[in-house]
Structure 1
Amino acid sequence: MATAAQWIEGARPRTLPNAIAPVLAGTGAAASIDGAVWWKAVLCLLLSLSLIIGVNYANDYSDGIRGTDDDRVGPLRLVGSKLASPGAVRNAAIGCLALGAVLGLILVVTSAWWLLLVGAACLAGAWFYTGGRNPYGYSGFGEIAVFVFFGLVAVLGTQFVQAGRVDWAGLACAVAVGAFSSAVLVTNNLRDIPTDSVSGKTTLAVRLGDTRTRTLHVVLLAVPFLATLTLAARTPWALVGLLALPLAVKANEPVRTGKNGPELIPALAGTGLAMLIWSVGSGLALTFG
């Protein structure tokens, strides 16, 4: 039976920057057009955290029952390591996603009813990433989904529910955060190419191969800093986002130098840290710049 600490580890806390960053950036974008509503920002943060934890538990459950986690290198998997039953992990995923749905409904009621469709798409995307008969995460669409849901939808949704509209600065932030989030998943899937290839999990990294996946990581990490130059048109203080550049370069080093397996774990943490620092800096710049 899994301990509380193992359940926390199974929630994959290192992925939480993917949930925090879009809310920081989206709130900054809302503030830049005088639309920040702080209690809605808090709800957006709680919603984002509940969804990503739900996604992680759903991923643990679905991969575990398929056996694709049996030889995985990386964070603890509750089902794959037989520390928790598949049913218990599935219920944890459903509980987190249900909490996200409730929080989302509050935002819908206070914003716009059409956001129900967006919320339904987010819940479906969370479950069918590795769940269902034909999970899209097994077909090379994971990075696209992450870009859309944790970039475009999360950032622009955060801006919209607070300001009542979106603008080009919000879009620039959304593209930047989406690229960072995709880079995190690219690193994860690069590490798992050997085991995913054997288990039949055809991720984008498996499709592209080792060399092109490493190139993609560089390209994705460059995108946020191009977005920073765009945001400087709103306020020169947005250039503070460039402070994350050394962290991004360091995060890319294990990828660039051909590291494999556990040696890529620092790249995962480093990419998440760069994303968080960029979002904090850019969000503050847009809020107070």
Structure 2
Amino acid sequence: MNGAGAQPHPAPGARAWIGAIRAKTLGASLCPVAMGAGLAWHDGAFAWIPVVAALAGAGLLQVASNLANDLFDGLRGTDSGARIGPVRAVASGAISARAMAVALALVLAAAAVPAAWLSMHAGAWFAVIGVAGAVSAVAYTAGPMPLAYVGLGDLFVFAFFGPVAVAGTRAACDGTWSGEAAFLGIAPGAIGMCLLATNNLRDRVGDAESGKRTLIVRCGERFGRALIATCHAAAIAVPVATWAAWQLPAGAMAASAVAAGFVPVSVAVLRGRDGTALNRTLAGFGAMLYAYGVAFAAGLVLTPGAGDAS
């Protein structure tokens, strides 16, 4: 997923790598892991090592996806000088394609470590998730039919940074796969889609010209703005619905309150915010992901009667 802040010139060295991994968007992997960990705590199943492994795996797969995006969009010429988003490392020459490919391979290899540990200690499904996540991260912008180029990037983001990440973190702690956790995963998946849809709304003209048929290029600007508002509403509603359906402690609705506090971000999109001004919207949704995950987990941990950490 694309970053929130524009850079006026290619950044050398460490700054170029920080830009390439798109650090401002990494809440997309932190948020669902925090939610799954909070749910495990509530259930009396929390364990530090599995949660750290889940966070490492999710974070590394997101970094891999971001590096692959930079690399393959740069090679395809999608990230042209006319783009209005942040400067991309390969397209700008700040990082060579060879160096980016090596970094991508190293990150994918690193991601295999927590996936292997989880598959040995919490079940073979984690090997399946790890392989599927790695393939999807690269296939997002690579191969004969890149997900982002055929309008399927949103599905990847929603699934892997939503239900899969929340339910997977919960299962990592004691092997329990929970429908409640998967349902809760709709929320971070939806916020991740807000982030991606905002990026694609900003870049829709250039994407269309370069043949990148994102969901917003396919369905139009009005659809994209409505999608962002709908996903934001879902993030507000999910904890409330889970409280009603599964008797989740009311403290979890702190996440709903946080999401409601970011409503002005979506309102600006509905009112027509466009172009480089959408970088502020991206920053808003990036902050919302961090705050949402922390609020949900803290709400459960601080609720009287929550489970003890193991």
Alignment of 1:212-227 (within 5 A): 212-227=223-238
8 Å contact from structure 1 (residues 193, 205) kept in 2 = yes
* Residue identity in the other structure for 2:62: I
Indicate if the aligned counterparts of 2:33 and 2:169 stay in contact, CA closer than 8 A.
yes
Residue correspondence of structure 1 range 1-289 to structure 2 within 5 A: 2-70=12-80, 71-232=82-243, 233-289=247-303
Given that residues 158 and 189 in structure 2 are in contact (C-alpha distance below 8 angstroms), is that contact kept between their aligned partners in structure 1?
Answer: yes
1:143–1:204 Cα contact (<8 Å) kept:
yes
Any runs of at least 4 consecutive aligned residues in structure 1 with deviations exceeding 3 A, and if so which? none
Give distance in 2, aligned partners of 1:260 and 1:213.
Answer: 12
- How far apart in 2 are the matches of 1:247 and 1:100? 34
* Contact kept in structure 2, 1:68 and 1:196, CA below 8 Å: yes
Using the alignment, how far apart are the partners of 2:135 and 2:186 within structure 1? 22
Q: TM-score, normalised by structure 1?
A: 0.96
What is the identity, as a one-letter code, of the residue corresponding to 2:76? R
Structure 2: stretches of 5+ with no match in the other structure: 1-10, 304-310
Alignment partners' CA distance in 2, 1:117 and 1:9: 30
- TM-score, normalised via structure 2 length: 0.89
How many aligned residue pairs are there? 289
CA positional deviation for 1:59: 0.4
Question: Does the Cα contact within 8 Å between 2:237 and 2:256 map onto a contact in 1?
Answer: no
Q: Give the letter aligned to residue 279 of structure 1.
A: G
Deviations 1:165-189 (A, max 9, x none): 1324312321111111111101110
- Supply the AA of the counterpart residue of 2:111: G
- Structure 1 CA distance, aligned partners of 2:53 and 2:256? 28
Percent identical: 33
**Following TM superposition, by how much is the alpha carbon of 1:197 offset from its aligned partner in structure 2, in angstroms?**
0.6
> CA RMSD, aligned part only?
1.4
Tell me if structure 2 keeps the 8 A contact 1:247–1:274. no
| In 1: Cα distance, 2:38 partner to 2:60 partner | 21
Kept in 2: contact 1:74–1:262 (CA 8 A): yes
C-alpha contact (below 8 Å) 2:72/2:141 kept by paired residues = yes
Q: Which moved more, 1:60-69 or 1:31-40?
A: 31-40
Aligned-partner residue type, residue 226 of structure 2? T
Give the equivalent residue in structure 1 for 2:3: none
Equivalents in 2 of 1:225, 1:172: separation in Å? 13
CA–CA separation in structure 2 for the residues paired with 1:286 and 1:230: 15
